[in-house]
Each structure stands twice: as C-alpha cells, then as structure tokens.
Amino acid sequence: MTPAARVSAAIEVIDAIERERRPAADALKSWGLAHRFAGSGDRAAIAGLVYDALRRRASSAHLMGAETPRAIVLGMLRRERDHDTDAIAKLCDGARFAPAPLTEDERKHLDVADLSGAPAHVAGDYPEWLDPYFNASFGDERAAEGAALASRAPLDLRVNTLKGERDEAAAMLADLKPDATRWSPWGLRIRLSAEAKSPPIHAEPAFLKGFVEVQDEGSQLAALFSGAKPGEQVLDLCAGAGGKTLALAAMMQSKGQLFATDDDKRRLAPIHDRLKRSGARNAQVRTPKSIGSEIDDLKGHMDLVLIDAPCTGTGAWRRNPDAKWRMRPGALEQRVKEQAEILDRALTFVKPGGRIAYITCSVLDQENGAQVRSFLGRHGGWALVPPVDVAGALGERAFMFSKAARLAPEGILMTPRLTDTDGFFVSLLRHTG
C-alpha cells in the first residue's frame, strides 16, 4: 500500500471507531479481515496512524476546526507527525486509494496550526469532563501533563535478576539497541519510531529463557518501592497476569514466601507460565474458589501486602489511547469504591510492623492521595512511610528521582512528563498497631 492509501485506511478505521463506538483494536482487526491484501507492514503502519490520531484527537480536531475522522487524521499528521501542509497535500492528491485533495479551508488550518488559547483539555488531549480532576492533580500544568500522556510510549523490559544481569540481557538483545533505563536498576528501553513495528520480543531467546519481561519502567519502580526483602512473607493481592509478582520474586531472591492471587481467576491465567519461565521458586499462586477463602490462612501473617489496585488507567494512556475517550464518569466512581474495599481487605493480612504498598496506574488524586487519606481516616494504627524514604530504594539515583517525581505526604506520583515513565502512584503504609 502507498502512504496515501494508508492514510485513507486510517480515516476509514477512525470513522468505524467513532460511528460504531468500538475499541480501536477491534476496528483495526475488522479492517484487516476485510482487506486481506494489506501486508503486516501496512497493518502496522495503519495502526500507528490510528493510535496517533486517537492520542491527539482533541487537539487535532481543534487545529482543523472540525471533528470528522478526516480532520482528526489530517490534524494528527501536522501535530504529531510534524508534516507541513505541502507534505500532507501530497498524501491527499485524490489519486486512486488516496484521500481527496485538501480544501482551501483545510490548507488554511494546516498552515496556521495554532493551539494558542485552546482549553486545557484540548491542548492536553483528554476528555473535557476530566478537566476538574486533572486540575486537582496538576493545576496549571494539566495541559502539559495531558499532552505527555498522549505521547508515544517506548518499549520497556525488566531484566530478571534471577537469571542474569542487565548487561548480559542487553547483549542478548543487541540487535534491538536497548538502552539502560534512567531510574530502574533492572530496566532496558527500546525506542520505536512512529513508523516502526514493535519487535517480536516474545520470540527473542532472552524472553524465552526468562531473562526479560515486558514491563514499563514505572511499573518496575512501583515494585521496587514496595521494599520486598528476601525471607519475607509477601502477598500480591491483585496479581493479574503477574508482572509485579515476577519483580517481587526477583527482589526476594526466591527466599521467603510470595503468594499471588486475584479475585478474577481469568486474569491469573498467564502467571503460571511466566513464573515457570522466570525460575522463581518461592511463589505460590492461589486461584480463587470463592472470595477470600483461598487466602484466609494468611491473615495477620504478611510482612507486605502489595495492592496493584484496579483503577481508571489514566497513567497508561500512552499505551491505550482510545481508552481515554471511552472512559465515563461512572467508571471513576466505581474504581474508587473498589479501591477502598481492597485496602480494607488488605489490612487484615498484615502483621504488626508490616506494610501495605498501594499502587495505581492513575494520575487522578481521587484514586491516589485522597484514597490513602480516606484509608487513614477509617483505620487507626497505620502510618505513612515518608515518600523520600520510599524513593531511597533507588540508592544514588534517589535524589534526582525525588526532584523529578511529584512527592506528596501520601506517596509518589510518576508521569511521562516528570519521570519519562507511565503514570504510577505508590504509597507505602506501615502497621503500627
């Protein structure tokens, strides 16, 4: 397919997403099934155009003065891909399979490409109803924080220290040119261009042998900040597919006992193969039969309970850009309720002197600091571990990280703009009763 035909296809897919209110992945799959002539490179390029358009949907529509799929894609080419008007006109020449030629009005908007005076939610590319929440979290910086959350994410890997060192894993992946991550002592980062296909990491020997796992640097740091130590008794209460479970197992050097569970057994399905590949020997998966019964014997015995809480996922918008446009106010309310219930459940497993590590991939204070304050208001016998002490797990990098991240009494907030990671919040609470 020609570049122009790919742009036409992206406009078609955006139209299906808008008109049918379906997830981007589903719309892209349907398009691919209906256009089997498109090769893997074409499909990857079209997907890149679609996801970039969704990342910059609000600002692109504002720039073009219209909210049509065509306007959104053309505005994205100017705003995200940095194409000038002539370059976009060459793609839109009206030839076979190409978009129709630019109108005079479209040329005028592309030439100006001005977002000055745009509302914060437009410049920051997030839904208007979320603006009060972004304002509560970031104030006047909310547009810049939103724009960073709309950027493309790199591919981050966590090196499994049970199998080897970071330099060893980097050598195994040398053809992908990985760099050491800025903060995480275990991380490797592979930067991808807008047109690049994601490398087949799951087929790499380093992955197959358990040397690396795909995990954003912010998620790696969230696990590190929990302070899990060899010999401890640790419960990963919302383990899901096991990303943080694997990191905890490596931190514990397979010493002590690590329990992993989740209320939804379907989310736990991948964890068994991942643990086997990692070489972890101290992890035990508790698949739920009924709520609570699978781990009742652990109550009052845990040194650490890690809560990777269900949340709105606002911090992960770089990786799932269409999610922000499908998010509704009721989802935030529901997640806040679930988080409070999980925190109240978690405390029953912690022994005196033990800790709760509360983690979200959200940037909204309602799910983060406010949730922690509410927990402390409901329960005596708990104290916050100062965030600067939590960040001390980074050793010599702790000072610069503490300057970069947003540290509040309740915890640490990482964002793409501040720390060049996904958005994560981490709070560490100690049982003093």
Domain boundaries, the chain: 3-118, 217-431
pLDDT attached to residue 293: 67
Residues 216 and 421: beta-carbon distance below 8 Å:
yes
Per-residue pLDDT of the chain (433 residues), as tens digits, is 999 999 999 999 999 999 988 899 999 999 999 998 888 889 989 999 999 999 999 999 999 999 999 999 999 999 999 999 999 999 999 998 999 999 999 999 999 988 988 999 999 999 999 999 999 999 999 999 999 999 999 999 999 999 999 999 999 999 999 999 999 999 999 998 776 678 899 999 999 999 999 999 999 999 999 999 999 999 999 999 999 999 999 999 999 999 999 988 899 999 999 999 999 999 999 987 755 568 999 999 999 999 999 999 999 999 999 999 999 989 999 999 999 999 999 999 999 999 999 999 999 999 999 999 999 999 999 999 999 999 999 999 999 999 999 999 999 999 999 999 999 999 999 999 7
pLDDT attached to residue 347: 95
CA neighbor of 121 nearest in space, from 144, 88, 98: 144
* DSSP state at residue 380: S
- Containing H/E element for 257? strand 257-261
CATH of domain 217-431: 3.40.50.150
Got the DSSP string for 151-169?
Answer: SPP-EEEEE-TTT--HHHH
* pLDDT tens digits, 25-59: 999 999 999 998 888 889 989 999 999 999 999 99
Residues within the annotated binding site for S-adenosyl-L-methionine?
262, 308
Residues within the annotated binding site?
262, 308
Kindly give the residue spans of alpha helices, DSSP state H, lying in 35-130. Answer: 40-55, 57-64, 69-79, 85-91, 104-112, 120-123
CA neighbor of 191 nearest in space, from 246, 49, 182: 182
Instruction: Please state, in angstroms and rounded to a whole number, the distance separating the CA atoms of residues 287 and 294.
Output: 7
Query: Could you list the active site residues?
Result: 361
Measured torsion, CA atoms of residues 121, 126, 130, 132, in degrees rounded to the nearest 10: -30
- Bin 96: left if φ > 0, else alpha if -120 < ψ < 50, else beta: beta
pLDDT attached to residue 292: 53
Q: How many helices (H) and strands (E) does the chain have?
A: 21, 13
Residues 122 and 58: beta-carbon distance below 8 Å:
yes
Q: Is the dihedral of CA 98, 100, 106, 107 positive or negative?
A: positive
What is each CA distance from 339 to 33, 131, 263, 385, in whole angstroms? 39, 22, 13, 20
Measured torsion, CA atoms of residues 305, 319, 421, 118, in degrees rounded to the nearest 10: -120
Residue keyed to tokens 């839904």: 127
